[in-house]
Amino acid sequence: MKMVQSGTVYQLTFMPRFFPVSCYLVEEETELTLVDAALPFSCKGILKAARKIGKPITNIILTHAHSDHIGSLDSLKAKLPEAMISISSRDARLLAGDKSLLPEEAGHPIKGGVPKNIKSKPDILLAEGDIIGSLEVIFSPGHTPGSISLLDRRTNSLIAGDALHTRGGVAVSGTFKPLFPFPALATWNKQAALASAKKLQNFQPRLLAVGHGRMIENPAKAFQKAIKESEKNLR
């Protein structure tokens, strides 16, 4: 595991050379919020990082319910029974293994790894504008129907899950990058993903933190380039 800090945001990356999967610890005054739960073997590394920071994990927020973002959820909940699990109300269905579509989602089958045996249940179902600690929920569907991003209101740092990725080149979810094609192959709705990227861009974040790839400070140019490429590919 590789840990990189930017202010109050700690990026924990597993398998950084081959298939980087990142989750995040966000530092509050007396506690930590974990954003995503990475891979099944990630529990030990996450807990070790929290001990190094010196604060307890009290919240676990899931940006979406793909398997590489919820892998160690059950193990973490067993170790941290008081931690509150949060996910969007839409992706709570995916967390439970339900891949069925809502009427307005017809024509866009859900892709990517959807869990089949997660025992942990969400304590909180999130909606646009909800706040947990310093993090504000931004509904950003596209990669999955219920994907969310999280904006730290203290620093304007954005944790975007798989709404974008920076591995293999900065890209909106759904844009195929030969050096790292996996997010594109797992994207539910490319048009929705582009709309969400434009929405996130409008927050003018100081930091962009994603599920796959390095964090980017002052990402305005990266956003612009990724959105332009996505628009071109969708014409």
Residues of the chain where predicted confidence (pLDDT) is lower than 50: none
What is the per-residue pLDDT for 81?
98
Give the residues across from 9 on adjacent strands. 6, 26
List, for residues 38-97, the tens digit of each pLDDT value: 999 999 999 999 999 999 999 999 999 999 999 999 999 999 999 999 999 999 999 999
Encoded tokens for 89: 């109300």
Alpha carbon 107 to its chain's center: 24
- Residue 29 φ then ψ, to 5°: -60, -45
Per-residue model confidence (pLDDT) at position 172: 98
Question: Residue 158: beta bridge partners?
Answer: 151, 208
